[in-house]
Amino acid sequence: MVGCFACFKPPAGEEEEEAPLPSTSRRRGRSLRLSRSSTRAAGEGGGDAAAAAASSNVVVDSSSRARAFTYGELSAATDNFRAECLLGEGGFGRVYRGRLESGQVVAVKQLDRDGAQGNREFVVEVMMLSLLHHPNLVNLVGFCADGEQRLLVYEYMALGSLADHLLLEHNAATAAAAEGQQQPQRAPLSWETRMRVALGAARGLEYLHETANPPVIYRDLKSSNVLLDDALCPKLSDFGLAKLGPVGDRSPRVMGTYGYCAPEYVRAGTLTVKTDVYSFGVLLLELVTGRRAVDSARPAAEQLLVAWARPMLRDSKRYRELADPLLREDFPERDLKQAVAVAAMCLQDEASARPLMSDAAMTLEYLATEAAAAAASAPPPSS
């Protein structure tokens, strides 16, 4: 599993004050009162001491959709956090499937109290998802700050993460080949689905960068943070590393996931919205190639996706070589080339040369529309 870089720890213990609201949330009539410590946690990367002090000061007003749960309510919802309800585990802690008294199915993320980043992530995520709302951002149902317990409650995303689908497809294909079968046990994501997922992720980032005021730098875009509902609609999740502007800030220590971080961020800690654009380029490349951003199971020269793809990205005549073999060439070559060209622009070494997410989304909207029309007009598969 690819881990996140460690976070730095700024001073804590400053007095409480009202945090400025993103303008999009103010128009909706929602507010969130945070201590100055928690604002620093969002603005500078946070620290465990500051976040621990701030977490108890998080107050969401009655117009917000986020609900404060007791630990007992969430324990009952997950059948006392039974192993059978476990959906997965990450840097924050374990995620369980639960059912509230209302009947709503939810995902409950429980803070690992021994983790290095959990309290900070809790504060930042409650703040961000209470203020920011978009169809391509996961919805925060509520939270629990009961004693030492820290839990987050999200809408349930039935189809898991994009990483699950890409990885399981190739695992199935490998197993089928080993057993002499002709095809994997389940169909891979179609070209149309991949373009729809790319467009949804792009729109989520566009909202964070160009609609929210101040802009939000997501900082941890990766395939495991793109969740899919039962209609394969993508939603960005895990906002624990997100940061409010300003543009051009410098982070004392890099926070993010290896394989997705922009070169200027790794070298000098320079953090802008274009840092996210680079990460989106990696994600789009994953969708096109079916490969993981970092895959230690591959030969040494192919383990880092961007390094492996770079020679092909520099030569448009080689774009076709990047297509996932599991697609079986079931895509328009022109559309493949346009998708790869978008990825190549997003992966420019110079941040200023990368496009805005609105520009990338515009191209991907065209590609997704074309793919949907082609899928609708295709003859049904023969039985």
pLDDT band, very low/low/confident/very high, at 171 (cuts 50, 70, 90): low
- With tokens 């994600």, the residue in question is 283
**Structure token digits, residue 14:** 């400053």
pLDDT band, very low/low/confident/very high, at 180 (cuts 50, 70, 90): low
Percent of the chain with pLDDT over 90: 58
What is the average per-residue pLDDT within 256-284?
Answer: 94
Point out the least confidently predicted range of 8-22, 76-90, 120-134, 144-158: 8-22
With residues binned 3-state (H G I as helix, E B as strand, rest as coil), the percentages for the chain, rounded to 5, are 45, 15, 40
Whole-number pLDDT of residue 135: 96
212-246 residue pLDDT tens: 988 999 999 999 999 999 999 999 998 888 888 76
Continuous H helices in 10-161: 23-27, 36-44, 48-55, 71-77, 118-131
What is the average per-residue pLDDT within 284-299?
Answer: 95
β-pair partners for 32: 60
The question of whether 220 is a catalytic residue gets the answer yes
**Which residue did the predictor score with more confidence, 116 or 294?**
294
Whole-number pLDDT of residue 14: 36
Query: What's the one-letter identity of residue 212?
Result: A
pLDDT band, very low/low/confident/very high, at 56 (cuts 50, 70, 90): very low
pLDDT(61) > 60? no
What is the average per-residue pLDDT within 298-307?
Answer: 95
What is the average per-residue pLDDT within 249-256?
Answer: 70
- DSSP assignments along 255-315, one per residue: -SBTTTS-HHHHHH-EE-HHHHHHHHHHHHHHHHH---SB-TTS-GGGSBHHHHHHHHHT-
- Minimal CA–CA distance to 237: which of 121, 105, 364, 145? 121
What is the average per-residue pLDDT within 290-301?
Answer: 94
Eight-state DSSP code of residue 340: H
pLDDT(137) > 70? yes
What is the average per-residue pLDDT within 272-286?
Answer: 97
State the chain's mean pLDDT as an integer.
80
Whole-number pLDDT of residue 281: 98
pLDDT band, very low/low/confident/very high, at 19 (cuts 50, 70, 90): very low
Percent of the chain with pLDDT over 70: 73
pLDDT(53) > 60? no
pLDDT(190) > 80? yes
Q: Which domains, and CATH codes, for the chain?
A: 23-155 (3.30.200.20), 162-372 (1.10.510.10)
β-pair partners for 137: 236
Strands 140-144 and 67-68: parallel
pLDDT band, very low/low/confident/very high, at 131 (cuts 50, 70, 90): confident
C-beta neighbour count of 27 within 10 angstroms = 9
- Cα torsion angle, 44, 48, 49, 53, sign: positive
Of the residues 79, 112, 146, 220, only one is catalytic, namely 220
- What is the rounded distance in angstroms from the CA atom of residue 299 to the CA atom of residue 259? 16
- What is the rounded distance in angstroms from the CA atom of residue 177 to the CA atom of residue 95? 33
317-336 residue pLDDT tens: 999 999 999 999 999 999 99
What is the average per-residue pLDDT within 187-195?
Answer: 92
Using alpha carbons only, how large is the chain's radius of gyration in Å? 21
101-116 residue pLDDT tens: 999 999 999 987 766 5
- With tokens 């899928």, the residue in question is 375
pTM value?
Answer: 0.80
